[in-house]
Structure 1
């Protein structure tokens, strides 16, 4: 009878060990699946912001302050410029489509001509605070000097104020310089 009891205890220990190994294997599998899902999420986010990440802007002095918008992507993108000047609420100058693989120089005079009040004070300081990008997939992005993020009301109060204050205005393209870029597309 003792033998049967030892066999039963041994069978119970083996069964418990089997359950423990199965539970451990299930836990490891769940962690691997969770890691793969997180990696997939990161890759999707990178893919989603790829075009917007290739569109940048800066201001450079050239007599007056011109704004340069560089689209290093293979797709055109709609771009609006958020402008402020001292003492005036921000306004949005709707530039339109920026061609793929191009550098666009937008003269300060055009941004000033887009001013909702058509102010003529040449001493006012105009600054491009951000650009709004609508990518080839229709997603809207907010790019400032230090950030690129999807447009949301919570993240961009400046844009909300500008949109409430003035309607977007179209900047004429007669004085805009468009130049091809050498570095474009999948490189970089």
Structure 2
């Protein structure tokens, strides 16, 4: 199968989500300039750099407004927090994805306890085993190109503080992914967690 995207404007765009999978989920908490808290999951999320530590998340504009509440809040305050979603947190994460009116507190909607951050204003998800406090580096606005496209935003944030639950940090200081069971996004409404693991050391160059 070959698809010319320019010549096939009505193709199933969900194919991309199934091909680029599994994808980590950025559970992003923000707060508006007036103090309204927002929490939303983004499956277009990843680590960009470790030195300096930088993360990114991206989203398309919703049907009922120009930008998602998360983007509006980040533009206003220049801050956000990423909260690790585990398998056990899949239901409240899904509840927080509800397209609620602006100003609705998704923490309350999903029955989640807030935890205070240190360097930024947005709260953390108390039940999450790892959270990263971030300050905005840049928002890249992507304009629609063809039929079916929507306005998109890519957010880059510098990690300024890290919170980890001591129960998931081993004696060597490594974060225990197996016990944490991070939730990942697949195609459609499919989710998964860690499966079989293998460690592969980087090979030495041939002599």
Structure with the bigger percentage of helix: 1
TM > 0.5: no
State TM-score, norm by structure 1: 0.27
State TM-score, norm by structure 2: 0.25
